[in-house]
Structure formats: C-alpha cells, structure tokens
A and B are shown apart, each in its own frame.
Chain A
Amino acid sequence: MKKLLMASAATALTTGAAMAAGHSSEVKLGVLLSFTGPIESLTPAMGAGAEMAISEVSGDANFMEGAAVTPVRGDATCVDAAAATAAAERLITSDGVVGIMGADCSGVTTAVLANVAVPNGIAMISPAATSPALSTAEDNGLFFRTAPSDARQGEVLATILNEKGIGSVAVTYTNNDYGKGFADAFVAAYSGMGGEVTLSAAHEDGKGDYSAEVGALASAGGDALVVLGYVDQGGAGVIQGALDTGAFDMFAFGDGMIGDSLTDRFGADIDGSIGTAPGGENEGAARFAEMASEAGIDGTSVYAGESYDAAALLLLAMAASGSTDASEYAGSIMDVANAPGEPILPGELSKALQIIADGGEVDYQGASGVELVGSGEAAGSYAEYTVDGGALSVVGYR
C-alpha cells in the first residue's frame, strides 16, 4: 500500500512537472489574415504557407528547448478595421500569441498596428501590405513586411521610363489606397529623375465611360500614359478610350495591369508598352512551390511564399534572441533576414536553427528572396515586362 501510494504520488508529481514544462514551452503565433472579404480567395494558401513554416519549427530541439509552436488564426476581413482590431486583440489577450504573422490588406494592417500591436508590444510581419504609408507608420520597431512597398515599384517604373528616354508622362490611377500610394511614389521618383508629370488624376473603377478622364489626360499630353489600376476594371477602360481617340499609343503599367486579359483585349495595339510586377528569379520560389504542392497547397499563389517567410522570420528571430518577448526578438528580425550569414532556403529552417544554436549567423532567403531594407520591408524584386507582338514578355528583373 505504502509503495503504491509512493508510486502514485511520484507519478502525479512527474506528470504535473511534465505538464507544467509542456505548458510553459508552448509558443503561440497569430496568423491574422483576411479569410473573409475581397481577397478571401488568396488567404487559404497564405495561411497554409505560414503554417508550413510553423510546423517545420515546432518541436525542433534547437527552438526554445523543443517547444511546440501552434498557429492561431484570426480573421482580418481586409476592409473592416474594427473587426480586424478585435480579432488581433483576441489573439493577444485571450490566446496569448507572442507575435503576429499578418495582417494583409494595407488598411487593416495599419489599424491593427496602431491599435493593438504597438500598445501591447507585439511584433507583426505582414506578408502582403504594400502601401507606402506603412513605411513611416509609428511602429516602435515592431512592424516588418515581406512584401515590398509600392514606393519601390514606383521607383522601378520611373527608372525604366527614364532609361527609355521618355521625358513626360500623364498618370492615371485607381481611386483607392493602392492606386493613390503607388501614383504618389511614382510621381515623386519620376520628377526626381527630371521627368515631367503633366497630370496625375484618379479614375473610378466600374464605370461605363472614361471619355472625360481620357480627355483631360490627352489635353495634358505626354509621351506615355502611366496606368496604375486594375486590368479587369477602369484601367482597361482608360486604355480603350486613349487608343480610340488616338490620345496615347505608349503605356506604362503597374502590377495591377499585368495580366493575360490585357493582351487578350488590346493585342498589338499596345505594342512597345512596358510594365512592372513583383517577381524575381530565385531558387527559393521553386523550392517552396515544390514543398507546397507536396503539402497539397498552391505554392505559386500570390503572397503564399511571403507568408511562409513572414512566419519563418518571426520564429528564427525568437531563436536568435533566445526569447519570445517581442521587445527582445524584434531587434533580431533584421539580423536573420539579411547578410552576413549562411543563406537559408524554404525547408531549411531546422538547419538554420542548428546554425543559430551553434552561435553562427543566418541570412534568410526563403521563398521570396527576403532582403529587408529601410524600416524593415522587403526590398522587392520586380520583373520588367514589354508588350511585343501582342503578348507580354519578361525582359529582365530589377
């Protein structure tokens, strides 16, 4: 009897200790994406991408002594800032996440950063918010993104036009955060290079008739028309109007305009036009696509790789600083993302953790060739397109 008591007491003690140990070493990571709303078709692959990185690290002996990492999903809705803020608040206060992979749309990301992440001192890495305004947002060093700012794309597009010797352009952009931010960035970069912007005017999507917009742009004139809109929306309407009235025959497109429907509709009429869209040549993208298709998700889906990278960066930074406290690990995010160090591709997270444990340095490349610049955003590599013989073709990367 005595023996039995002793044995059960010992068992109870050890289980208790084991439970306590297990509990203290569980790390929760928030996955805050817009699972409902205008980009709900993209987020399943993004969420799955982030969770791939999480499960890769979870239980690794070199990560917080083998702690389990679990993802907790929250819905950012893309358009409803109040709902996104509430979801983020819940992740932090009731689920106890130590970092947030998200959010995605620029508007809700800004709201969550200002209302939840900064007051609670939690780090965020967004895989998809591209608004230039986020570069200067008040973030106490807690906000990063694996998506490039549109400011960068504005520069790239301006550089290409400048190199082609196009000295004056008119700009038309879709009337939302994306279009406005992109247009402002482009105009600033292009004027800085000595180019002349004759007019920068917004257009509304979903209208039947763009002749008034085209009339104003034509009157302002210019060697080319820069269209920063959506190819299935007003952007195409403006191009149609400009072609019909003979106002412009040379165009420059932002990423929203690059798509097959552009050349399906206009074909050789827009030959010689140029465009940019995020994209690059790197080993990581192919590797990630392979891993993802094995896991049953589409790795080439937009921002899926960036989501994997965002989650991986958070976890590697925690490992490098040896802490799950954002005030300590946020400072390490730039270190693990950039050189010097051993380049790390998707699927090599345990190798990275081993290097960190051995006191070495890593340079995380990931699925999107991560290189963080400025206040912690992807430098971004862009593909340069031209329209040739009625088809879009990539002529290089920048």
Chain B
Amino acid sequence: MDLLNAFVALSNFVLIPAIAYGSQLAIGALGVTLVYGILRFSNFAHGDTMAFGTMVTILATWGLQAMGVSLGPLPVALLAIPVGIAGCAALVLFTDRVVYRFYRGQKVVPVIFVIVSIGVMFIYNGVTRLVLGPDDQRFADGERFIISARDFRDLTGLEEGLALRTTQGLTVVTAIIVVVALFWFLNRTRTGKSMRAYSDNEDLALLSGIDPERVVRVTWLIVAALATIAGVLYGLDKSYKPFTYFQLLLPIFAAAIVGGLGSPLGAIAGGFVIAFSEVGITYAWKKVLEYTLPERFAPDGLVQLLSTDYKFAVSFVILVIVLLFRPTGLFRGKSV
C-alpha cells in the first residue's frame, strides 16, 4: 500500500507533469531541429513563432466560442488549430520571402542567419503584443479533468490523490500523432525524402534535380504547424502569456542540442530528458521517501536537490555538460 502511495505521489507531481511538459518541449524542439537541419541555422524566433501561432488560434477559438461551438469535454481550441497553423504559416513564409531569402541568395555564414533570426524574434514579439497584449489569456474550455485528485482518492481509497488533466492527456496523444505523422512524411513521401537529401548534402540534392525553394517552403510549413501545435498545447495546459513563450526558447534549444541538432529522434528524446531533469531535480522527494523507506530512515528535510528558483538553470547545466562531453548530442546530430 505504501509503495502504491509512493508511486501515485510520484506520478501526480513528477511523472505526469514531466511527460506533458516533455511532449510540449519535444514538438517545439522538432521545429528548431528541422530549421537547423534543412535551413542550417538556429532559429531564435521559434519561441515567438509559437506565441504567434497560438495567438491566431486563440482569436479563432474566441470566435468559435462566440458562435456557440462546443466540443463537449474537449477544448474548442482543437478546432481552431488549423486556422492558427494557416496564420502562422503565412507569417513565416512571408518572413522567408522578405528576409531569409535575401540572405540565402547572398550565401551568408550561419551566424548572420542567427542574428537575423533574433531581429525577426523581436518583430514577432512586437506583433503578438500589439494584437493580443502582454497579459495572460485563458482560452481553455471543456472538461478540466480526466480524473481529479479527489475522485481518485475516493475511487481507490489511497491516501494520495492523482490528478490527470484533460489537457495533459490531450498533449500526449497529440504529440504521438504529430511525431508519427512527421516520421512517416520524412521517411515515406517523395517530398520528405527530398528534404532529407537536401539536409544531408545540398550539392548532390541540387544535382539530382530537387527544387531548393520548394524544400524551404515545405520546411517552413511544417515548422509553422509544429510551432502552433506545441504553443497551443502549452497554452491550454498552462497559460498563455507571450513572455513565457520567449522564455521557453531556452529549454527548447537545450532539448534540441541535447538530442543532437538536426536529428528529429534526438529532439524528442532531448525534450523528455530536459523535462524530467527540470521537474525531478527541483522536486522535494520527502513524501515519496517516507512511503518507500522504513520509518527510521525517513528524512527530516525536504530532500530537494535544487530550489525551484533554479529550474531554468537545470537546462543550462545539461546544455553545458552535453556540449563539453558530446558536442553532437545523444543522437549524433550536427556539431554546434
């Protein structure tokens, strides 16, 4: 019984939040890694691309809600995601046309691209704030819990409660669908294969007749879709505030680099590594240890490795360690 209680407490405060957060990071990191692999630069505007896509989704959600549309237990925002993706895709394609294409034509070094993407980040930043403002926005509706802590306790008779929010379940399911679809596209379709060829060796790809501008366009479309989905899931699960999306840039980049930049599989693994480290290292293990250890070994302190203030520092430290000992990341991506 005690072991069961320990497991439930651990699930409630570590496993479930970390899996949901990890899925969100993974989808975000996939976008970063695709841009890096195919367009060959680190896109610092990715966080704000997510914020913009989510903003369009929120506006569409409000429109649908005003028309009285409801999905029952599921949030209406799911219906609005395609609109968000379309808006986001229009924005990134426009940016590519007026900004990135110019620099691509000049064949500038990647570091220039990085600086340009920082400029783009500030512009996206401003656009989002201009349209929706810097404040918190809530757009989740539908059923809040799949199972709430109180119901779980009543149901099982355990001391510890386990809460599973609808948005957490939704995040994981959506993440699986998105990842399967992406891998199918990259490995099985002609366009996907041409993208991989372009990523592996640009010159050979051009020789074999691949249209580079088409590859770039398709990449941006996929990135816009991934960014919007990651942003909406994060916003539904937590809360939407443009500034938190800007802050998400650090864990997302950490995830992409830990997994190996340019490697889609690595981005997913990296997302979960970062999420589990952030949540696990700052969790106070006292309760879990009290259940699992014999009474005389039960800890007095909180058994918390790092105070929660240092949450963001965890991704920094992992980033530094990986760069020092394995610069290509866990899945042998491109060296940074």
Contact = CB atoms under 8 A, between A and B. Distances in A.
Interface residues of A, number: 26
B283 A244 contact: no
Given A220-B284, A220-B302, A246-B150, A215 B14 contact: yes
Contact of B244 (A199, A203, A208, A213): A208
Contacts of B101: none
A20 interface: no
Residue with the greatest number of chain B CB neighbours at <10 A, chosen from A211, A220, A246, A247: A211
A175 interface: yes
A211 B17 contact: yes
Interface of A: 175, 199, 201-204, 206-209, 211-216, 218-221, 232, 237, 244-247
A201 B282 CA distance: 12
B38 to A, nearest CB: 29
B284 A215 contact: yes
A246 B287 CA distance: 14
Given A207-B244, A219-B13, A245 B283 contact: no
B195 to A, nearest CB: 32
B244 A216 contact: no
Residue with the greatest number of chain A CB neighbours at <10 A, chosen from B17, B165, B278, B311: B17
Contact of A202 (B150, B163, B309): B309
A83 to B, nearest CB: 25
Interface of B: 9, 12-14, 17, 21, 136, 144-145, 148-150, 152-153, 161, 163, 165, 234, 238-241, 243-244, 247-248, 278-279, 282-288, 302, 304, 307-309, 311
Given A208-B234, A216-B302, A246 B163 contact: yes
B278 A208 contact: no
Contacts, number: 89
Given A208-B244, A219-B13, A219-B287, 5 more contacts: A211-B17, A212-B282, A215-B284, A219-B283, A219-B286
Contacts of B150: 246
A293 B14 CA distance: 54
B21 A245 contact: no
Contact of B21 (A207, A209, A220, A247): A209
A175 B308 CA distance: 12
Contacts of B288: 219
A175 B310 CA distance: 13
Nearest to B311: A212
Contacts of B279: 211-212, 215
Q: Is the interface of B mostly helix, strand, loop or mixed?
A: helix
A245 B308 contact: no
Contact of A201 (B153, B161, B241, B308): B308
B287 A221 contact: yes
A207 B309 CA distance: 11
A246 B244 contact: no
B304 A175 contact: no
A220 B289 CA distance: 12
A246 B148 contact: yes
A203 B311 CA distance: 11
Contacts of A219: 9, 13, 283-288, 302, 304
A203 B308 contact: yes
B243 A246 contact: no
A199 B238 contact: no
B311 A208 contact: no
A118 to B, nearest CB: 34
Contact of B243 (A199, A206, A232): A206
Contacts of A246: 12, 148-150, 152-153, 161, 163
Given A199-B302, A207-B244, A219-B302, A245 B161 contact: yes
Nearest to B152: A246
Contact of A212 (B12, B152, B308): B308
Nearest to A217: B284
A244 B163 contact: yes
Nearest to B309: A202
Nearest to B243: A206
Residue with the greatest number of chain B CB neighbours at <10 A, chosen from A206, A215, A237: A215
Contacts of A203: 308
Contacts of A209: 21, 238, 244
B307 A201 contact: yes
A215 B311 CA distance: 13
A199 B302 CA distance: 8
14 contacts: A208-B238, A208-B247, A209-B21, A209-B244, A211-B279, A212-B282, A212-B308, A216-B307, A218-B13, A219-B283, A219-B284, A245-B12, A245-B163, A246-B153
Given A206-B244, A246-B149, A215 B283 contact: yes
Nearest to B145: A244
A245 B149 contact: yes
B133 to A, nearest CB: 13
A218 B153 contact: no
A263 to B, nearest CB: 15
Nearest to B245: A208
A221 B150 CA distance: 16
